């Protein structure tokens, strides 16, 4: 892990986080060799709105999503995925209810005919 890979998100102000997001968007837009005009047109926003985003100004989450979609970067939201977990007690109860054996039709017919 290098020195740049750790960011103390909790100590950052909202403005700092917005600026970091703006730098992220700008970096990836430039790496894709795309102008603000191209990206903003494809995202359905104004160029000035994209400029505000890249400067770390306040924009809506919808705007951020639109820009990230155009830049093919929606995978950054992977951290927001919620995996539902079953409690150990509930899992044990579900395991106890599972059938371990089955009785076929032939077995039950044989059982009845023995009586």
Over the chain (115 residues), what is each successive 10-residue block's mean pLDDT?
68 92 96 97 96 95 96 90 80 76 64 57
Q: Tell me if 108 is assigned to some domain.
A: no
CATH of the domain at 32: 1.10.260.40
Which pLDDT score, from 0 to 100, does residue 1 have?
42
pTM: 0.67
Q: Is residue 29, in this structure, part of any structural domain at all? A: yes
Q: Which two tokens stand for residue 49?
A: 């709105």
Residue 34 maps to a domain: yes
Number of domains in the chain: 1
Q: Tokens 């579900």 appear where?
A: 94
DSSP string, 54-112: HTT----HHHHHHHHHHTT-GGGGGGG-------HHHHHHHHHHS------HHHHHHHH
Q: Give the pLDDT confidence score for residue 35 in this predicted structure.
A: 96
In a domain? residue 94: no
Full residue range of the structural domain in which residue 66 is found = 9-80
In a domain, 43, yes or no: yes
Task: Give, to the nearest 10 degrees, the angle between helix 61-70 and helix 14-31.
Answer: 20
66, HSE (Cβ side, Cα atoms, 13 Å): 18
Q: What is the pLDDT of residue 86?
A: 76
């Amino acid at each position: 892990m290098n020195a740049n890979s750790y960011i103390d998100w909790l100590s950052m102000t909202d403005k700092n986080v917005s600026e970091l997001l703006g730098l992220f968007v700008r970096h990836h837009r430039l790496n894709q060799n795309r102008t603000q005009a191209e990206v903003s047109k494809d995202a359905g926003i104004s160029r000035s709105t994209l400029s505000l985003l890249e400067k770390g100004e306040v924009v809506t989450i919808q705007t951020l999503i639109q820009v990230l979609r155009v830049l093919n970067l929606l995978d950054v939201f992977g951290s927001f995925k919620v995996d539902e977990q079953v409690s150990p007690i509930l899992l044990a109860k579900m395991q106890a209810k599972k059938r371990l054996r089955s009785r076929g039709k032939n077995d039950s017919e044989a059982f009845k005919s023995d009586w």
